[in-house]
């Protein structure tokens, strides 16, 4: 049974979904500027990024934080 967590924007969102939404919103180039990691700046792909983010907690934390910022800016109508 899943708990309802209305104040947690990451609840129920997989890393792949999160990453695809970030790429759709920012694009790879802007994403690489916001979070300078090689998987975003050199021949980026969802698969290589997922592999890196799953084994690198500090990078995943940054991506999740950026996702939360994106969700909040969308909900307030800012970009």
**Is a pLDDT exceeding 80 seen at residue 79?**
no
Give me the sign of the Cα torsion angle 27, 29, 35, 37: positive
Q: With respect to residue 19, please indicate whether it lies within any of the assigned structural domains.
A: yes
Q: With respect to residue 9, please indicate whether it lies within any of the assigned structural domains.
A: no
Angle of helix 46-55 relative to helix 57-76, nearest 10 degrees, comes to 120
Sequence-ordered alpha helix ranges (H) in 6-56: 15-26, 28-34, 38-41, 46-55
Q: What's the whole-number average pLDDT of the chain?
A: 89
The CA-atom distances, in angstroms, between 63 and each of 1, 3, 24 are 27, 24, 14
Q: For residue 70, give the CATH number of its domain.
A: 1.10.720.30
39: domain range? 15-76
Q: How many CB atoms are located within 10 Å of the residue 68 CB?
A: 14
Domains identified in the chain, total number: 1
What does the pLDDT average to over 71-77? 84
Q: With respect to residue 29, please indicate whether it lies within any of the assigned structural domains.
A: yes
The string of pLDDT tens digits covering residues 21-46 is 999 999 999 999 999 999 999 999 99
């Amino acid at each position: 049974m899943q708990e309802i967590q209305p104040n947690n924007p990451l609840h129920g969102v997989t890393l792949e979904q999160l990453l695809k939404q970030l790429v759709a919103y920012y694009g790879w180039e802007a994403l690489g500027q916001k979070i300078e990691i090689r998987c975003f700046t050199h021949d980026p792909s969802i698969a290589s990024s997922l592999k890196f983010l799953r084994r690198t907690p500090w990078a995943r934390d940054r991506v999740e934080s950026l996702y939360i910022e994106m969700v909040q800016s969308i909900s307030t109508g800012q970009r």
